[in-house]
Chain A
Amino acid sequence: MQFGIFSVSDITTDPTTGRTPSEAERIQAVVTIAEKAEEVGLDVFALGEHHNPPFFSSSPTTTLAYVAARTRTLQLSTATTLITTNDPVKIAEDYAMLQHLAGGRVDLMMGRGNTGPVYPWFGKDIRDGIPLAVENYALLRRLWDSDVVNWSGQYRTPLQGFTSTPRPLDGVAPFVWHGSIRSPQIAEQAAYYGDGFFHNHIFWPPQHTQRMVEFYRQRYEHHGHGSADQAIVGLGGQVFMRRNSQDAVREFRPYFDNAPVYGHGPSLEDFSRETPLTVGSPQQVIERTLGFREYVGDYQRQLFLIDHAGLPLKTVLEQLDILGEEVVPVLRREFAALKPAHVPEVPTHASRVAARGGARDATVHAPADDVTGQAREEVEVR
């Protein structure tokens, strides 16, 4: 099982000091956080994509490539990549490029994005959210899995004899997750392709997560990728820890009360009861997290949200220390002991290459002019 963190890249005022970090500070901080995640023994760092303040992460592959260069084992992922408003051609290119630079330590999570105004900024309409996610991903798969693509669809210009470059590393595309809080169609999409399904598992009660995961597992089996309990499931989660649980509650409360998304509503206690939020001792986090398995089954990836709502970098790094030293080692051991042998781990680049019968150079050597990119036939016609 993999453990890690995900960041939504919000730039939020620290409610205890009234201070708001600059973009420059937050961008450096997120790199520090990612490096620290590897240092304390976590497996995954995932970064969100947003195209409006108060977020900075409009260009996740740039950040992730930089993080890749400064880490050795950390798996890099997204939370989420906007499959609706990004051109699938650009996603295919950017993430294949990142995959090469990171030596295969890349997977990504598709999401529709829930910010209405973003769609028109990229020439799209939020009412087409699901059909866009369906068509764009179908094209993305073609672009990664076929060297030459002829394609036409509803939402972008047709492609004739198009080759997306670079080709996926070793001829194997990055593993893909699909994230959705409430749309069964997205769980169905993940199941259809045999991809992973990730539930945010932060904003809503666990019953919603349970229902979505159950549906995804059922459909995964239906589409013939394996038994329901072999489907690849990831969960989010939100924790804040101090040795003493009262200290955790006291310290986190102002961040909770003023948090974007759910702040100024329910009390910390109400929200902790109704959702998976856990604010308390490391032991409480261990127990709550182990409990997730009871309603989603044996799952493959657990990501925690720890750097949001204006929490200062120093605090976030302390949280990572606690996760790495006290929480994740226990979770790793306990989850591993509970997991039956036929339940797979998260597919990695190495395991996917092995499953494909080994690495191959996937480079497409076009018979084209090095400088102009024109193919011989085109040149000769002139």
Chain B
Amino acid sequence: MTTRTLAVVSAGLSTPSSTRLLADRLSVATVDALRARGDDATVEVVELRTHARDLADDLVTGFANTSLQAAVDTVTGADGLIVVTPVFSGSYSGLFKTFFDVLDKESLTGRPVLLGATAGTARHSLVIEHALRPLFAYLRAVAVPTGVFAASEDWGGADGVDRALAARVERAAGELADIVAGRPSSARPADPFADVTPFDQLLRGKA
């Protein structure tokens, strides 16, 4: 049985946060879906709130401090990602974007990712398509077709989650599990020192 690593990035700010609630629903469903496909999974959650100052420092200094670096390594080293942001001013939150801004732009290439968003009203429900999907397309991550958006009203149904939301969660988790389970385990981020062009090739203009 292969053990897969899932990294969950949650940009919720309050405690408890509906963003984190959705992230947890998605990760539990993905673990179940992976098990159903014969893989085990470990989940590591990165709460961006705890890195708010680290991220601001990184913008100013250009490097991730020890604490943020651990979170970055968790995310860039995972087999699959679940990312969830609250909607602020019609888009992902600044905190959410900042985290992806400070990653090496190659570090998520080809990485399966499930996109999630929460908002107070269903009028933001296309935010995943118009904001998150282009961001992860830029990062050349592989976003699964189903994004999961949850507005306040989605949390009001039987046993806490409306049946329609539960169905979306399950479908998205299944899509993520399909890709993760079908791949060789974790493409670790490339070591920039591993394949430096030898100098005689640089000299011949083949940098």
Contacts and interface: CB of A to CB of B under 8 A. Distances in A.
Interface of A: 130-131, 134-135, 138, 154, 184-185, 188-189, 191-192, 203-205, 208, 211, 215, 219, 223, 261-266, 270-271, 273-274
Contacts of B203: 134, 138
A270 B57 contact: yes
Contacts of B57: 265-266, 270
B1 interface: no
A83 to B, nearest CB: 14
Q: Which 7 A-B pairs have the closest CB atoms?
A: A265-B60, A192-B199, A266-B57, A184-B196, A265-B57, A262-B61, A204-B63
B192 interface: yes
A203 B200 CA distance: 30
Given A185-B196, A211-B193, A215-B193, A265 B59 contact: yes
Contact of B62 (A185, A204, A273): A204
B151 to A, nearest CB: 36
Contacts of B160: none
Contacts of A131: 202, 205, 207
Contacts of B200: 192
Interface in B14-44: none
Contacts of A270: 57, 65
A271 B58 CA distance: 11
B193 A189 contact: no
A266 B205 contact: no
Contacts of A263: 60
B207 A274 contact: no
Interface in B70-98: none
B198 interface: yes
A189 B61 CA distance: 26
Nearest to B202: A134
B126 interface: no
Nearest to A154: B205
B63 A188 contact: no
B152 to A, nearest CB: 36
A130 B63 contact: no
Nearest to A183: B192
Nearest to A153: B205
Contacts of A271: 61
Most A CB contacts (10 A, CB to CB) among B60, B61, B196 go to B61
Contacts of B59: 265
Interface of B: 56-57, 59-63, 65-66, 192-193, 196-200, 202-203, 205, 207
Contacts of B193: 184, 211, 215
Nearest to A187: B196
A274 B202 contact: no
A215 B191 CA distance: 12
B198 A203 contact: no
A134 B207 contact: yes
Nearest to A218: B193
Given A192-B199, A265-B61, 10 more contacts: A130-B207, A188-B196, A188-B199, A188-B202, A211-B193, A261-B61, A262-B60, A265-B57, A266-B60, A273-B66
A266 B65 contact: yes
22 contacts: A130-B202, A131-B205, A134-B199, A134-B202, A185-B196, A185-B197, A188-B202, A192-B199, A203-B62, A211-B193, A219-B196, A262-B60, A262-B61, A265-B56, A265-B57, A265-B60, A265-B61, A266-B57, A270-B65, A271-B61, A273-B66, A274-B63
Nearest to B197: A185
B198 A188 contact: yes
Contacts of A203: 61-63
Contacts of A211: 193
Nearest to A182: B192
A273 B66 CA distance: 9
Most A CB contacts (10 A, CB to CB) among B56, B193, B205 go to B193
Contacts of A208: 63
A101 B139 CA distance: 53
A223 B200 CA distance: 11
A203 B65 CA distance: 12
Nearest to A205: B63
B102 to A, nearest CB: 13
Nearest to A189: B199
A80 to B, nearest CB: 17
Contacts of B207: 130-131, 134, 185
B61 A215 contact: no
Most A CB contacts (10 A, CB to CB) among B59, B196, B200 go to B196
A287 to B, nearest CB: 21
A117 to B, nearest CB: 18
A172 B59 CA distance: 44
Contacts of B202: 130-131, 134, 185, 188-189
A197 to B, nearest CB: 13
Contacts of B197: 185, 188
Nearest to A223: B199
A192 B63 CA distance: 28
Contacts of A215: 193, 196
Nearest to B59: A265
B195 to A, nearest CB: 9
A270 B197 CA distance: 36
